[in-house]
Amino acid sequence: MSDEQPKKTDPPGDATDKPTEEVTNTTPLIDIANQAAKRMEDANKETARLFELQEKRDERVALGGELGGRAELKLVSEEELKKKNAAEFFKDTALEKAILPDGKK
């Protein structure tokens, strides 16, 4: 053990003194910071992996038409959107039929 104190009967500087070992002491704050850095590195690796998976999925969707459970987006003009919103506001009234005479919804 490196923490042993010389016995009181041993004179100081005796040949029986053991050389002291250097012990690296770290503070708890440094240990906590190192642990946090390790967790951040692991999280960054996982995020990079997930981004790669997302990019591959987006490529499949773009090239193969796969939607993955999402509804297909339909582009609507601003005028059609206004008519649809007005018709929904006046639902079950005579104005709904006047706004959308062909019953588009």
pLDDT, tens digit (0-9, with 9 covering 90-100), for 5-16: 655 665 555 555
Q: Model's pTM, two decimal places?
A: 0.37
Spatial separation of the C-alpha atoms in residues 26 and 70, rounded to whole Å: 52
Distances (CA, A) of 10 to 1, 5, 15, 18: 17, 10, 10, 12
Domains contained in the chain, number: 2
| Domain span at 63 | 26-70
pLDDT of residue 102 exceeding 80: no
Is residue 79 one of the residues assigned to a domain?
A: yes
Report the share of the chain in percent with pLDDT over 70.
63
Is residue 59 one of the residues assigned to a domain?
A: yes
Same domain, 48 and 82: no
Is residue 18 one of the residues assigned to a domain?
A: no
| pLDDT reported for residue 10 | 55
Same domain, 65 and 99: no
| pLDDT reported for residue 87 | 83
Same domain, 58 and 33: yes
Spatial separation of the C-alpha atoms in residues 58 and 67, rounded to whole Å: 9
Is residue 97 one of the residues assigned to a domain?
A: yes
pLDDT, tens digit (0-9, with 9 covering 90-100), for 47-68: 999 999 999 888 887 887 665 5
